[in-house]
Amino acid sequence: MTEPRERRGLVPLELGLVLAIAVVPWPEGIPVGIPLVVTASVMRWLRGRSWAELFRGGALHAGVGALAGAVALGIALVAATPLVESLTASAVEWSRFPIVRGSASQLGVVLVLVGIGALCAELAFRGWLLERVLELSPGPPYLPVMLGALAEAIVTPGDVSMRLGAGLFGAGLGWMYVAGGRSIVGPVLARVTFVCGAVVLEALKLIG
């Protein structure tokens, strides 16, 4: 869908909003995806666009996304974590929610929260930022995918290893979004599976 010329003037404003959100010290309990998706919702509304148009593809997209998320989590644990630890000479901290250990009720609450955060992140990074660059950049999607991944790395809190991991994961989800006909279903299920799987492993004390 081609972006009307009069609305392309919103692009600098959108980029500025992303940078502003990146530098704001948000409370630890508020995922950065939430302020991003609020901003994205306003920007899409100004263009007369809705989120519903991105949710297409059905069970196949959902299944592929969930499988990709599980595989990505396995690779991150088995291969990526040891590699990063050897390169940085420091331990990778997977533990984010120690309250889930030994508490089924806390586990349920945290799974809901991280699931919502994952949905918000994908709507913001793929459904807004990547979609915007794709609309404005004719030709192969290589640059838009990488710019979307870079934006995710910038706004992700944490050290260099966390930002690098976020960027690589974002690039993979970007390719999934493009390959799936610009449907958000696959990337959302991939991210939800990844983050919720990590929480379950933490609850089982398999990662720390």
- Domains of the chain: total: 1
Task: Quote the pLDDT of residue 6.
Answer: 44
User: What local confidence, expressed as pLDDT, does residue 179 receive?
Assistant: 93
65-77 as b/e, with b when 16 or more CB fall inside 10 Å? bbebbeebbeebb
Asked whether residue 208 is domain-assigned, the answer is no
Evaluate whether 193 touches 71 at the Cβ level (below 8 Å): no
Task: Check residue 171 and give its pLDDT.
Answer: 95
> Of 172, 200, 145, whose CA–CA distance to 67 is shortest?
172
CB distance 76 to 165 below 8 Å: yes
> Which residues, given as ranges, of the chain have pLDDT below 50?
2, 6
pLDDT at res. 159 = 79
Strand (E) or helix (H) holding 186:
helix 185-203
Is residue 161 in some structural domain?
Answer: yes
- Sort residue 27 into left (φ over 0), alpha (ψ -120 to 50) or beta: beta
pLDDT of residue 74: 94
- pLDDT at residue 14 in the model: 81
Mean pLDDT, the chain, rounded, equals 86
Whether 130 maps to a domain, the answer reads yes
pTM of the model: 0.88
Spatial separation of the C-alpha atoms in residues 16 and 20, rounded to whole Å:
6
Question: What are the φ and ψ backbone dihedral angles of 48, each rounded to 5 degrees?
Answer: 70, 30
Owning domain of residue 108: 5-203
